[in-house]
Structure 1
Amino acid sequence: MSKQAIEKLNLKGKVNIEIPEILFSSVEHALRMLVRDLETVLGASPQLVTESDKNAELCIRLALENDDIPKRSEAFGFRFHSDGVIPYMEIIGHDELGLVYGILEFSRIYLGIQPFWFWTDQSIAKQLEINIPCLDYDAPVPKVRYRGWFVNDEVSLIGWKDPYPPTREVWEPVFEALLRSGGNMVIPGTDLPRDGIHYKLASEMGLWVTHHHAEPLGAEMFLRAFPGRNASYQEAPELFERLWAEAIEEQKNMKVLWVLSFRGQGDAPFWYNDPSFDTSEKRGAMISKVIRKQYDMIGSVVKNPVYCVALYGEIAELFKGGYVDLPEDVIKIWADNGYGKMVSRRHNNQNHRVPSLPTSDDRGRDGLYYHVTFHDLQASNHLTMYPGSATFLKQEIEAAFAAGADDYLLINCGNIRPHVYSLDILRELWSAGTIDVKKHLNEFVSGYYASHQDELKELYQSYTEAAIQYGPHADDLAGDEYYHHPARQIIGHWLQGKCKQPDSRLFWAVGEVPFYHQVKNFEDLLAQGIEKWGAWLTRCDEVLAKLDTDDLRRATDHLRFHGALHLSGCEGFYWMCRSFREYHEQRYPQAFVFASESMSFYKKGLDILRDAEHGKWDRFYRADWLTNIESTVNNVDTVRQFLRMHGDSPDFFLWYKEYLMPETEKHIYLENTHRNPLSDSELAVLLKQHFTRSGSINP
């Protein structure tokens, strides 16, 4: 039978698969995924054989010299043949990752398994048979050579299961999603114990591993290894070099993108530990010296090493100033500001927004470190989806590629689950180099939802329009941390009796104005946010009411969850600001009522987290230590108690007597029979009803 006569390959029941006799560990992982996928779709576990099998419908193998598969790393192709009776398909990889990508792409194209199937609880359709058109296929060359995730601020992954550090059960779905997205490198977590499985498993699954810029070469932190010593390279170079040598020895047989860097302990400039470096010249010279030493140490042990330098924070400023000298074959990694804009990040109130991209005269190789989630104690999105638009992401990444920063793309992916839409946009960009945002959204929604797709697409598109814009720039959009960190700062400033002076920590958000006006500026922005998020959530609920059970759960977790967290945060922060305004006017019972309103809305945020912890996601958000909604609830509760001291103390019966007790009782009750004061919550409910009826508050 000629190739032209082969039209379709039909797979059903127990599929026979011929696999290579010698398997890489990464391919073994990919085959386990394929077996699971086929069993899920066809209802039968496939038969894997290593010897030549004439009945095999699939053959998975490495490319031979005479194959016409592209001869480049990670390449793969599909080829169709017939032994005269039965057609069969070959998945041919140039190397181990080529085989892995080929297997997973087969699963995506023909079985419908999407890259984030695990993280979105994708409903995978059962089929009696799969009809595969017999058309040869070669995978295109990815735009970016090294592309992957930094699993950073990963508290949900840490808190999800009891064992610490996280086990294979946690990490395998992370690395699987990355591989299904075409990624090939990872920083697996932040400052996790060195005896954890994370680096070993990432390597075992075929990924390049790389390092946090605060942990050059993946070495042990100096002060952990040598507690009590001054972390000064100038004083003890041999101790630093011992740690670097140990890291090189430990990783020399792995695929590593070696990060060269020199920062101080705790991800701070090194001169915090060594203040004698008090000029840019001295600092740049030391960084250059250390990087060259690390470069030479690796080069003496590792064959064909790949080097990177993260131009992050002070190193970027020194490099742009001409104070840091780097070897030409080092990939320079440029970072966004944490909010998706390729400019320098905001430091407290300083926001210079210096462009963070290579210039036209830049020599060498360049790449990007980019955030779709961030934690900065100001306005970042951590629990919620990136608030910027797909078009904004497209513009920033495509402009960076045009500037030559396309050798490397590392995405801060956080805890994966809240960020799948943004991560899927970046998947398309690192693969193709460009994206049609409308087409991508069509494919994303149709890949994960079965019905009402146009209305769901509108919700994804309009999500960004509801975000609070707190500053003049397109990336000045509030994430979930905006409702919590500034709120707790205001509470601390207020309760410490500093209301007569502004809180300098808030200048970035509401300006250098008196504290009362700082709080009022937040209040005005939050009122707008309540209106916009309320309207978005109403539209969301109208759409969700039409969905079947599976799509409803998915849309609740991946759309409504985000809007509801924004709205509850907006409302909680707004009423806390209103409470301060009443306090400022010495209307303490009214301030107490508004603080109680604030607390009830913030508590809604905790309910939203708990509702999202169904099934396998049980306790997924229990380690919300960064946005930390529970801490905000406790802070507002402290405000309530503080306010009740203003006129209801010491008996905590005075407001009840003044506002709630019937007039006839006030003059005849016996005090020794009325001594059980109401709780804060009970009193707040009754006072709210009283003040609303009397018109003395306007909620």
Structure 2
Amino acid sequence: MKIMKFSHFKNIKILSLLAFVMFQYSCNTRNQDLVIKGGIPIYVASDEAKPVMKAVRDLQRDLEKFFGKTSEIVNELPKDGPSLIVVTGKKYKGKYPAVEEWESHQVYADNGAIVINGADMRGTIFAIYTFSEEILGVPPFWYYSAWEAEKKDEITISNDLNINIKSPEVKYRAWFPNDTDLFAPWRKLSRENSEMWLEAALRCKMNTMEWFDDERDYADKYSVSPTTRLIKEYGLVNTSHHHSPLNASFHGWNDYWKKTKDTVPPELSLANVKQVEEFWRYNVECIVRNDINMLWVVGFRGSGDHPFWYTFKDAPESMTARGEIIDKMTKRQHDIVLEVTENPDTQFRTIFYNELSDLLAQGYIHPLNDPTLIRTYVATRRDHYPNNDIQQLDDNSDARLGYYFNYQFNSTGSHLAAGEGPWKMEKNYRYVAEKSNKPLAYSVVNAGNIREYVMELSANAAMMWDFDSYSTDSFLKDFSTKYFGEEQASEIAKLYSDYYNSYWKSKEADFENFDRQYIFLDLRYRRAIQDIAKKFNDGYKSNPLEDLSNEQVKGRTYRIEPEDNGADSQIGAIITGTKKAADEFLKVAHDADAIYKNLPNDKQPFFNDNLRAPAYFMYYLNQCLLHLSQAYQMDDSNPDQKKLVNNTIEDLENAKETLKTTEHGVFLRWYEGDRVFGFDRVFRSLNDINKN
């Protein structure tokens, strides 16, 4: 008898084990078993919420994939024969008491039926997907992993089945799809592409989406964007971005006055505070009128991802005065929300991003004293570890804390290949959680294009539900088993570790217990290649890489420390670091080749997409920067210089072609939207070297 493992969360209380019948049982044992076949009816009460019904239809689809027969959804309890009973709360008096706490859920056998019960709407949704994952074997990211159902005639389970999952340890667990150059155009290709990220989030038991409403049409009065409506339809909590407090980015200022108010927009200034408050109030009313479940963001920033003094020309010069204005405006936003919602228990959060983090650390701003407020701290920019503001917080704080961690960062971070890794994510969250006496209240990870971060997103979801007992090493073994099978799971889990440890650590860690604090991610390679290529014909400089023009912290753009690499210059450090990283990534790639050959055919595509191809991609990027740097330090008269430049171009072509191997199935056109890495721009920069 092959025993299925319930490995989704460690706090699942399994009172008996689910078993596939692999051989003939005695008659007495068979009478105790519950047999599920194609066409098994699904009972749902007629008053269940629409998001629950959406998940029920997903269950219907999952069953049909396995059995090849449609299960009917019924509103009356079947009188005999096996059935699935989907129920929220205490509507069904079954074998076990109904679960009651926030998002808790259970799946159990009860006299020939399987009861799928949640304490609330999302609890029931999570129970449905728990059944699909633990009993049918449908992984949360099935759409993103080329997963195929194993056709069956029937599944036999024990009549003592009882899966009972307690409330999550982190209340609000969010994803933030930001910087979606690949994801956004791909979403438009089909309805499935447009929505499957939300289904995957719920299958991972996430409950919140961080989104910004810049796509809203102000001509459609009191409307919200299609994506905001979609988030609501899936039963997820909505929260907005740090540049869009109250769901109101100042990008929409002119549109509001022109299209909604049919008037000339007033100047966006502190002197026009009444008009600013009117704009905020309108945006709050849009959310309330559309019955959106909103975790409200308050905080004062400017247009786009900038401090308010970039936008408001009458802003004061002193940081003290700027901090006072932020505090005042944040308090007014808070009051407007309470005035419109008329609900004293409305939940809020504020986000200490960029300049707000600096101002908080320097004592210029002061968070609202409100028990409903979650203080969301943000990992440092470019290299993601706890910033100064959270470091300065007393370890015994009574504040409700949240944390924003970047898996993907658009200017110098990971973009086309995952790089931060689940161990670094875990270390960040452990540090933040220790700063308060209260459980962590909010988590969000930025992974804009989603596909590259399937494993990392899964790790974050697992940790946020079961924070105290989560272990990245244990998670990786479970993840590898789920997606690639048990036979090679341990080997694959180790290979993930080898992959992340192959990244070039361009500077030694200076934060305790963060061994991968400073790593060179793919957008740093792209930026370094372009910067050197543009200066290639202007004469050699041993330290050619400069900070971005708007860099607020000196030396932060690249974080190359020559001494930590046994070198005396940037170029020397690059050559040393990329040689080592290239060798290590190539070893990972070759080890992946060996595993790939022995995987079942249906497991090979996702293994290539998520681990093997990224290893080859990062190998070629290291080779590209290495060869370019070697050529750059050569005298122009050296005949090997042009050869190395051509090798650089060939390396970049190989990197691009490696990514193309991941374009299959629904992802055939995945890289058409590439603009952030910008292969074409990099090729032009390299080809320009040979023109001179």
- Is the shorter-chain TM-score for this pair beyond 0.5, marking a shared fold? yes
Q: How many pairs were matched up? A: 619
- Which residue identity is paired with 1:293? R
Cα deviation for residue 386 of structure 1 reads 2.6
Q: Structure 1 residue aligned with 2:320, among 281, 284, 292? A: 281
Q: Structure 1 residue aligned with 2:103, among 69, 74, 97? A: 74
Cα deviation for residue 80 of structure 1 reads 3.5
Describe how 1:446-595 pairs up with structure 2 within 5 A. Answer: 446-450=481-485, 451-473=487-509, 474=515, 475-495=517-537, 499=541, 502-505=544-547, 507=555, 508-510=558-560, 517-582=569-634, 585-587=635-637, 589-595=639-645
Cα deviation for residue 518 of structure 1 reads 2.8
Between 132-141 and 602-611, the greater mean CA deviation after superposition: 132-141
Q: What is the SS of the residue equivalent to 1:80?
A: strand
Gaps of 5+ in 1: 345-352, 643-699
Aligned to 2:552: none
Between 88-97 and 102-111, the greater mean CA deviation after superposition: 88-97
Contact 1:69 1:75 in 2 (8 A): no
Distance 1:287 1:439 in 2: 43
Cα deviation for residue 361 of structure 1 reads 4.8
Aligned to 2:301: 263
Q: Structure 2 residue aligned with 1:342, among 380, 385, 389? A: 385
Q: Structure 2 residue aligned with 1:422, among 456, 459, 462? A: 456
The yes-or-no answer on 1:604 pairing with 2:646 is no
Aligned to 2:426: 394
Contact 1:369 1:409 in 2 (8 A): yes
Name the CA shift for 1:214/1:525 in 2 (closer, same or farther; >3 Å).
same
Name the CA shift for 1:65/1:158 in 2 (closer, same or farther; >3 Å).
closer
- Which residue identity is paired with 2:233? E
Name the CA shift for 1:137/1:17 in 2 (closer, same or farther; >3 Å).
same
Aligned to 2:685: 635
Gaps of 5+ in 2: 1-15, 17-27, 218-223, 259-263, 510-514, 549-554
Describe how 1:162-201 pairs up with structure 2 within 5 A. Answer: 162=188, 168-188=191-211, 191-192=214-215, 194=217, 196-201=225-230
Aligned to 2:250: 221
Q: Deviation per CA, 1:96-150, whole angstroms, max 9, x where unpaired? A: 1121111111111111111111111223322221223333343211010000100
Distance 2:127 2:140 in 1: 13
Describe how 1:350-429 pairs up with structure 2 within 5 A. Answer: 355-356=390-391, 358-375=393-410, 377-378=411-412, 380-388=413-421, 390-404=422-436, 406-429=440-463
Contact 2:354 2:381 in 1 (8 A): no
Name the CA shift for 1:174/1:590 in 2 (closer, same or farther; >3 Å).
same
Contact 2:38 2:63 in 1 (8 A): no
Name the CA shift for 1:496/1:244 in 2 (closer, same or farther; >3 Å).
farther
Q: What is the SS of the residue equivalent to 1:549?
A: coil
Q: TM-score when scaled to structure 1? A: 0.83
Contact 1:342 1:356 in 2 (8 A): no
Cα deviation for residue 32 of structure 1 reads 1.3
Q: What is the SS of the residue equivalent to 1:612?
A: coil
Name the CA shift for 1:502/1:558 in 2 (closer, same or farther; >3 Å).
closer
Cα deviation for residue 162 of structure 1 reads 5.0
Cα deviation for residue 597 of structure 1 reads 1.0
Q: Structure 1 residue aligned with 2:46, among 3, 15, 21? A: 21
Contact 1:336 1:356 in 2 (8 A): no
Between 22-31 and 585-594, the greater mean CA deviation after superposition: 585-594
Aligned to 1:647: none
- Which residue identity is paired with 1:135? L
Contact 2:42 2:85 in 1 (8 A): yes
Q: Structure 2 residue aligned with 1:36, among 57, 61, 65? A: 61
Name the CA shift for 1:396/1:562 in 2 (closer, same or farther; >3 Å).
same
Q: Structure 2 residue aligned with 1:211, among 230, 240, 244? A: 240
Larger CA Rg, structure 1 vs 2: 1
Contact 1:62 1:95 in 2 (8 A): yes
Q: Structure 2 residue aligned with 1:314, among 355, 359, 362? A: 355
Distance 2:659 2:43 in 1: 45
Q: Deviation per CA, 1:63-92, whole angstroms, max 9, x where unpaired? A: 23796323233232234332xxxx112222
Name the CA shift for 1:602/1:189 in 2 (closer, same or farther; >3 Å).
farther
The yes-or-no answer on 1:121 pairing with 2:146 is yes
Name the CA shift for 1:284/1:232 in 2 (closer, same or farther; >3 Å).
farther
Cα deviation for residue 192 of structure 1 reads 4.0
Name the CA shift for 1:296/1:318 in 2 (closer, same or farther; >3 Å).
same
Distance 2:318 2:208 in 1: 36
- Which residue identity is paired with 2:205? G
Distance 1:457 1:43 in 2: 33
Name the CA shift for 1:231/1:385 in 2 (closer, same or farther; >3 Å).
farther
Q: Deviation per CA, 1:549-594, whole angstroms, max 9, x where unpaired? A: 2222221111111111101111111111122122xx1226532222
Name the CA shift for 1:74/1:43 in 2 (closer, same or farther; >3 Å).
same
Distance 1:161 1:424 in 2: 21
Q: Structure 1 residue aligned with 2:334, among 276, 295, 304? A: 295
Contact 2:249 2:303 in 1 (8 A): no
Distance 2:383 2:201 in 1: 20
Cα deviation for residue 157 of structure 1 reads 1.0
Contact 1:62 1:92 in 2 (8 A): yes
Q: Deviation per CA, 1:525-560, whole angstroms, max 9, x where unpaired? A: 212222221222222222223233222222111111
Distance 1:48 1:60 in 2: 10
Contact 2:89 2:99 in 1 (8 A): no
- Which residue identity is paired with 1:616? V
- Which residue identity is paired with 2:679? I
Name the CA shift for 1:224/1:604 in 2 (closer, same or farther; >3 Å).
farther
Aligned to 2:6: none
Between 526-535 and 143-152, the greater mean CA deviation after superposition: 526-535
Q: Structure 2 residue aligned with 1:146, among 166, 172, 176? A: 172
Distance 2:535 2:568 in 1: 11
Name the CA shift for 1:595/1:502 in 2 (closer, same or farther; >3 Å).
closer
- Which residue identity is paired with 2:209? V
Q: TM-score when scaled to structure 2? A: 0.84
Cα deviation for residue 61 of structure 1 reads 1.7
Cα deviation for residue 447 of structure 1 reads 0.5
Describe how 1:648-667 pairs up with structure 2 within 5 A. Answer: none
Distance 1:470 1:307 in 2: 39
Cα deviation for residue 362 of structure 1 reads 3.1
Cα deviation for residue 516 of structure 1 reads 11
- Which residue identity is paired with 2:347? V
Aligned to 1:158: 184
Distance 1:137 1:516 in 2: 59
Q: What is the SS of the residue equivalent to 2:135?
A: helix
Distance 2:502 2:624 in 1: 17
Name the CA shift for 1:455/1:170 in 2 (closer, same or farther; >3 Å).
same
- Which residue identity is paired with 2:324? A
Distance 1:284 1:128 in 2: 66
Contact 1:571 1:598 in 2 (8 A): yes
Aligned to 2:13: none
Name the CA shift for 1:505/1:143 in 2 (closer, same or farther; >3 Å).
same
Aligned to 1:691: none
Aligned to 2:12: none
The yes-or-no answer on 1:94 pairing with 2:148 is no
